[in-house]
Amino acid sequence: MLKLDETDLKILDVLKDNSKLSTSKLSKKTGIPITTVFNRIKKLEREKIIRKYTINVDEKRLGKLLTAYIVIHYDISVWDKESTRGELRHQLLSLPNVEEIKYISGRFDILLKVCIKDMDELNSLILGKLRKIPGIGQTETFFVMEDVK
């Protein structure tokens, strides 16, 4: 594991807010010389600490007014074979409007983050697609009331 110093952390902190900033703007925002910023970013990319640069989309402006988290109990007896795990992954990745898929510990096994336009779309996702995947059992849905961070 690569040990990060204060300079690395400062650069990462600014990039988390806006990954589109140029090296010179990053240098000005952090007070770190431009060549140092450039070299540190290259090192962080090489070490896979920075895996990709992405965007943060305002889903509401795209008509997806509801964000929800669906926790899923998965029947582990179906999980026995490697091919079953691969097929589950493939089926979860193909679900529409799913933003994140996490395997979790605790009472449930899988956590999905979905952005949807309305309850009909959620109903179609859960009852029409998700529950048809072999091994998917009980689900529970939590709606986001407000995004803070």
Would you state the pLDDT for residue 82?
63
Would you state the pLDDT for residue 115?
96
Would you state the pLDDT for residue 7?
95
Would you state the pLDDT for residue 127?
95
Q: Where are the domains of the chain?
A: 6-46, 59-143
CATH 1.20.1250.20, applies to 6-46: no
CB 71 within 8 A of CB 147: no
- Token output for 132: 């048809």
**CATH classification number, 59-143, choose in 3.80.30.20, 3.90.226.10, 3.40.50.620, 3.30.70.920:** 3.30.70.920
- DSSP SS3 for 97: coil
- List the chain residues with pLDDT less than 50: none
